[in-house]
Amino acid sequence: MIETATFAAGCFWGVEDAFMEVIGVNSTRVGYCGGITDSPTYYDVCSQDSGHAEAVEVTFNPCLVDYNDLLKIFWECHDPTQVNRQGADIGTQYRSVIFYHSQAQHELALASRSRLENDRSIRSSIATLIVPVKSFWEAEAYHQKYHQKNGGGCGF
């Protein structure tokens, strides 16, 4: 059985990198999620008029990788205390969001955020939203596996 998880944590190129090589992850694709515009383009998302976040959709085999493991990667691959930004990337499209696909994912996401909020090493409030996924719009082909094709990396 294959499941789907969707995360937004800043520039989707770097977030995709964090999940691509994980054993049990079948595939990743970058796209746009959480907004109001149907079939948005990168330009639409960057204009911040679409309401979408840059997101990564992860399909995975839960027998090989647990959703909690994916949540751990999500929390570690970005700064969840930043609002509408990651490092130098500023705008609502870079917000931190867990888009859940089931009630079980919702509960696990809430519990993982609660654990992080109670971690004394975090000095700021967690800005990450946890909302149901509605539609995921695949980004343009040149964005898919961008770092794999072009080199480079993201960091916050």
Q: Which residues have a catalytic role annotated?
A: 11
Distance CA 51, CA 135 (A): 12
**Structure token digits, residue 104:** 């079980």
User: What type of residue is 39?
Assistant: S
Q: At what angle do helices 67-76 and 103-117 cross, to 10 degrees?
A: 40
What residues contact 33, with CB distance under 8 A and at least 6 apart?
Answer: 6, 8, 52, 53, 55, 57, 97, 99, 133, 134, 135, 136, 137
Tell me the β-bridge partners of 90: 85
Q: Which helix (H) or strand (E) element contains residue 58?
A: strand 53-60
Strand 89-90 and strand 85-86: the pairing is antiparallel
Which among 75, 72, 65, 68 has a CA at the least distance from the CA of 8?
Answer: 75
